[in-house]
Amino acid sequence: MKKWLLAILLAAAAALVILALIPAGTIRYEGNAYYSEEELTKEIFGDSKPRFFVALLQEKLGGHKAIPFVDHYEVQFGRGRSITVHLYERSLAGYLRFQDYNLYFDWSGTVVESSRQRIEDVFEVTGLAVSHAVVGEKLPVTDSNVIDTVLSISQFLKTETIQWNGEETRLADLAEKIRFSSEGVSVSFGDIDVLLGSADSIDSKLFLMADILPELAGRKGTLYLDNYQSGAVRPHYVFKESEPEAQPGE
């Protein structure tokens, strides 16, 4: 009986060794916007070469890795030892700079990650006074409407395109940050700031902004839409050119 048990254990050990030596075929990732495939491979499989075995072992033991900005992932095994990893990344609305870290928050205003990593297509939000922050808890902002405003602006920037210097360009590729101040909320597009003011009629202001911006390509200054009046036949706006920088010796 002991010999049979020993034989079974040896056979199982041999099978594990063989599996460990079998390299993975193609590894494919779906749903990844925040990481490159090389970064994901290192995060999930580490530096080990027998990645097929590692993936199989993780699935059997339920040992998925915790990856920043990823809620969870699923692994599917295919023919030729191929592996497909389906990622379900966290939905991010923006981030704040706080003590040398980027605090990324979701659409509910909950801090989902504190990291030095810079994620593309997630806009920096400035002008919000935050004395502390805890991952998994909501940002301690006094005005809860602030998060809704960030959401409206962020979604608009990611979905709308304009003609910029003769090319169809996403607003998200031009925008740099969303800023809150005593004057209200504004969006920075390099040398152009767009002051939207209060959150009232924010959607209409954003569409007006998208209509006007192409005319301002190559200029520097502030576009004032804070006095926008809903229902106006010809919406009034002001663009104030920036003062030219003084040259040395002038």
Question: Tens-of-pLDDT digits for all 250 residues of the chain?
Answer: 455 555 555 555 444 454 444 555 677 888 888 888 888 888 777 665 555 555 655 655 566 777 888 888 887 877 766 778 888 888 888 999 988 889 999 888 888 888 888 888 889 999 988 878 888 888 888 777 888 899 999 999 999 999 998 899 999 999 999 999 999 999 999 999 999 999 888 999 999 999 999 999 989 999 999 988 776 666 677 899 877 655 555 5
Which residues on neighbouring strands pair with residue 129, listed in sequence order? none
Instruction: List the one residue out of 90, 80, 91 whose CA is nearest residue 28.
Output: 80
Question: Which uninterrupted H or E stretch holds 73?
Answer: strand 70-77
- pTM of model > 0.75: no
Domain residue spans in the chain? 2-89, 94-241
State both tokens at 15: 């099978």
Task: For domain 94-241, give its CATH number from 3.10.50, 2.60.40, 3.30.420, 3.40.50.
Answer: 3.40.50
Check: CB of residue 199 under 8 Å from CB of residue 185.
yes
CATH fold group of domain 2-89: Ubiquitin-like (UB roll) (3.10.20)
Question: Helix, strand, coil proportions of the chain in percent (round to 5)?
Answer: 30, 30, 40
